[in-house]
Structure 1
């Protein structure tokens, strides 16, 4: 899973499988430096969140 998140690039479209923000999102910024919880890319959802 971590390798998949590290491979994301701006413009990639991803499917968030569950939770409050489930659905499609586009990667705005890929955070290559993992934090304590791993990589955390910035995404924009279909409803602009």
Structure 2
């Protein structure tokens, strides 16, 4: 199910989006953890393999 997120400018050269809290908790992630991005025509966010 698609989730709409707003793009936020961070500093002079970067942008960010937030991750849904439920997804972060489901994948046992916390602040400071890394996620994997697959970047092509679309961006896919994956939790790291543990």
Higher relative contact order (CA 8 A, sep 6+): 1
Superposition TM-score, scaled by structure 2 size? 0.24
* Structure with bigger gyration radius: 2
